[in-house]
Amino acid sequence: MINTSRSLLASTVLMLLASASAMAQDSTLITNARVIDGTGSPAQSVAVRISGAKITAVGNLQPLAKETVIDAKGLVLAPGFIDSHSHHDRGIFEHRDTPEVVSQGITTIVVGQDGGSELPLGDFFGKLKATPASVNVASYVGHNSLRDKVMGEDSKRVASAAEVQKMVQLLQRDLGAGALGLSTGLEYEPSSYSAADEVIALAKTSASVGGRYISHMRSEDVRLDAAIDELVNIGAQTCMPVQISHFKLAIRNRWGDAPEVLKKLDAARARGIDVTADVYPYEYWQSTLRVLFPERNFKDRKYAEFVLKEVAAPEDLIMSAFEPEPSYVGKHIGEIAALRKTDPATTLMSMIAEADGKQEMVIGKSMSEPDIAALIAWKHTNISSDGGLGDLHPRGAGAFPRVLRQQVREKKTITLQQAIHKMSGLTAEHMGIKDRGTIRVGAAADLVLLNPDTVADRATLEDPSQLSVGIEQVWVNGQTVWRGGKTTTAYPGTLIKRDAGAKPFTCSRASR
Ligand SMILES: [Zn+2]
């Protein structure tokens, strides 16, 4: 008996040793790093062990036999960044190594933004599962996409009750596929024609399964206050978290008002409404010329003159695409007006008419740097890029390192640990992503090793595809996707679906 149990014990020990050594072969220990864990806490000198796709130990650790050891040489190790407003999915199957993304330290992109998503989402998810990319992907369901599907061409109007019901059903299907929630792009046609009730009906559908609401609001300039009121009201009606996408004050007569606008949001939060925001760190946006005319009064000369005076001056509206006359790309409205031997207002109105139905994009400079800094510093703001692969706006390749260079190192608007929190842990909270965003045992091994003294964006308006520097190594689900200034050939990205344990958001408490 004694012998038997001894041999049992011996074989158990052998088995344990064998599994430890197998584990060690599949494990990596990162030592000598200043670990900033994404919770907002300052750096700690601890080691981090990755085994497979997970973080398995954090602390004062000794290497296991056969373990790969990476000496971080005093660099900062942070959770992989989560981009809460990304368009980097366009073209992702042709560029699965996503250099613009991983070179920024981004390991998860949240797509389906501005009311536009792949429908049915399950098909897109299936394709990603079969052909994964270097980064993780999560998606919202887009209101405009639902509207297009249900209303077709006849969508420049309020939807009927039956049409809203059809949109609700399509939304339920895609929430069932794992979408994080509903996204709207109410400044864009055709959802700009939607009534508030339509949006609330869809938002309630999302809330009923623990989904969220994220919005490119109805206005970012002339009607900013009303747009914020609409978003806050959706939060009040549904009791779900509501997020303002790429928050900005894009009109000159509101420059400097960021503190006042934030006060209003803080008041809403004090009433129990979970309103949050994301911001990209540039004074210029990229969209269509049409968004400059919220009333769709594209032929109203007085309004065109107002736009060029208050929203963006002719020299601050630079075309990044114009299908009817590609030679306009890179030129501003003032230059184009001179070429056409006419005034900027006429040029603006004519170009919208000429581009009808064709591709047209403009980069517009209409935000102020102090407002951007104030919005970024707000406790409930996370960082996003709003960028895409091959983007003509530098945000696609530079947004996150730009915050680390400009707002942390140069302007000292926020500390490094605050910035990292706003790029990882806080973002995960805002998106409802449970197992990522902080460095802790059991979390997914999405990590970024960066040099806080050199990290910088290189993308500019003139050369928007220049990749960032100072992001030394990036891991997604335990595999290296970026090292030595290059992408690897690993595609460990996974689908991030809405947390299975997400509880419905309901207004159980009394009046709100
Ligand atoms: Zn947008």
For ligand 1, the distance from its centroid to the CA atom of residue 247, given in whole angstroms, is 9
Compute the distance from residue 281 Cα to the ligand 1 centre, in Å.
14
The neighbouring-strand residues paired with 214 are 183, 243
| CA 244 to ligand 1 center in whole angstroms | 10
Out of 32-36, 161-165, 507-511, pick the least confident. 507-511
Residue position matching structure tokens 């302007």: 411
The per-residue pLDDT for 3 is: 44
pLDDT tens, position by position, 419-467: 999 999 999 999 999 999 999 999 999 999 999 999 999 999 989 999 9
- What is the b/e burial string over 290-300, where b = at least 16 CB atoms within 10 angstroms of the residue's CB? bbbbbeeebee
d(CA 11, ligand 1 centre) in Å: 61
Strands of 360-365's sheet in order across: 284-287, 360-365, 317-322
190 upstream amide cis, omega within 30 of 0 = yes
- Tell me if residue 447 falls in helix, strand or coil: strand
CA of 74 to the centre of ligand 1 (A): 38
Ligand 1 centroid–CA 365 distance in Å is: 15
| Of the candidates 291, 345, 283, 351, the residue with the CA atom closest to the CA atom of residue 321 | 351
Question: How far, in Å, is the centroid of ligand 1 from the Cα of 113?
Answer: 7
pLDDT in tens, 93-122: 999 999 999 999 999 999 999 999 999 999
18 has a pLDDT exceeding 80: no
Find the 186 Cα to ligand 1 centroid distance in Å: 9
H/E stretch holding 44: strand 44-51
Q: How far is the CA of 216 from the centre of ligand 1 (A)?
A: 5
Burial class (CB in 10 A: 0-12, 13-18, 19+), 302: exposed
C-alpha–C-alpha distance, residues 179 and 112, integer Å: 9
Q: Cα(288) to centroid of ligand 1, in Å? A: 11
Determine the distance separating the centroid of ligand 1 and the alpha carbon of 177, expressed in angstroms: 23
Q: What is the pLDDT of residue 2?
A: 42
Average pLDDT, the chain: 94
Residue 114 CA to ligand 1 centre (angstroms): 5
- For residue 12, pLDDT over 50 is answered with no
For 24-28, 121-125, 355-359, 499-503, which range has the lowest pLDDT when averaged over its residues?
24-28
Ligand 1 center from residue 78 Cα (angstroms): 27
Q: What is the pLDDT of residues 118-134, one digit of tens each?
A: 999 999 999 999 999 99
Taking only the tens place, the pLDDT of each residue in 354-380 is 999 899 999 999 999 999 999 999 999
Distance CA 284, CA 187 (A): 17
User: What is the pLDDT at residue 476?
Assistant: 98
pLDDT of the residue at 507:
87
- In whole angstroms, how far apart are CA 31 and each of 48, 54, 504? 7, 17, 42
In the predicted structure, residue 311 carries a pLDDT above the cut 70: yes
The amino acid occupying position 370 is P
Cα-to-centroid distance, 511 and ligand 1 (Å):
32
9 Cα: distance to centroid of ligand 1 (angstroms): 62
Ligand 1 centroid–CA 200 distance in Å is: 19
Under a CB-based contact definition with an 8 Å cutoff, are residues 286 and 363 in contact? yes
**What's the rounded Cα separation, in Å, for the pair 251 and 311?**
5
Q: What percent of the chain has pLDDT over 70?
A: 94
Whole-number Å distance, alpha carbon 245 to ligand 1 midpoint, is 7
Question: pLDDT tens digits, residue range 47-100?
Answer: 999 999 999 999 999 999 999 999 999 999 999 999 999 999 999 999 999 999
Distance 386 CA to ligand 1 centre (A): 7
| DSSP assignment string, 313-351 | -GGGEEEEEETT-GGGTT-BHHHHHHHTTS-HHHHHHHH
Reduced to 3 states, what is the DSSP secondary structure of residue 334? helix
Give distance in angstroms: CA of 94 to centre of ligand 1.
24
Please tell me the distance between residue 184's alpha carbon and the centre of ligand 1 in angstroms: 9
Element (H, E) at 426: helix 425-431
CA 206 / ligand 1 centre spacing (Å): 20
Q: What are the tens digits of pLDDT across the range 243-279? A: 999 999 999 999 999 999 999 999 999 999 999 999 9
Helices 258-270 and 369-377, packing angle to 10 deg: 20
> How far does the centroid of ligand 1 lie from the alpha carbon of residue 486, in Å?
29
Tell me the CA–centroid distance for residue 434 and ligand 1, in Å: 25
415 alpha carbon – ligand 1 mean position (Å): 27
52 torsion bin: left (phi>0), alpha (psi -120 to 50), beta (else): left
Q: Is 158 exposed, middle or buried (0-12, 13-18, 19+ CB in 10 A)?
A: exposed
Asked if 144 and 190 count as a contact pair (C-beta separation under 8 A), the reply is yes
- Mean pLDDT, residues 385-404: 97
User: How many A from CA of 294 to the centre of ligand 1?
Assistant: 14
Q: From ligand 1's centre to the CA of 87, what distance in Å?
A: 10
- What integer pLDDT is reported at residue 23 of this predicted model? 53
pTM above 0.95, yes or no: no
Q: How many Å lie between the centroid of ligand 1 and the Cα of residue 47?
A: 39
- For residues 389 and 43, give the distance between their C-alpha atoms in angstroms, rounded to a whole number: 32
CB atoms within 10 A of CB 289: 21
Question: 34 alpha carbon to ligand 1 midpoint, in Å?
Answer: 35
Please, what is the Cα angle at 260 between 296 and 224, to 5 degrees? 10
Q: Cβ contacts of residue 416 below 8 Å, gap of 6+?
A: 36, 43, 76, 404, 408, 452
pLDDT tier, 509 (very low <50, low <70, confident <90, very high otherwise): low
CA of 210 to the centre of ligand 1 (A): 23
40 Cβ contact partners less than 8 Å away, ≥ 6 residues apart: 417, 418, 421, 425, 426
Ligand 1 centroid – CA 332 distance (Å) = 21
Q: How far is the CA of 63 from the centre of ligand 1 (A)?
A: 46
Distance 469 CA to ligand 1 centre (A): 26
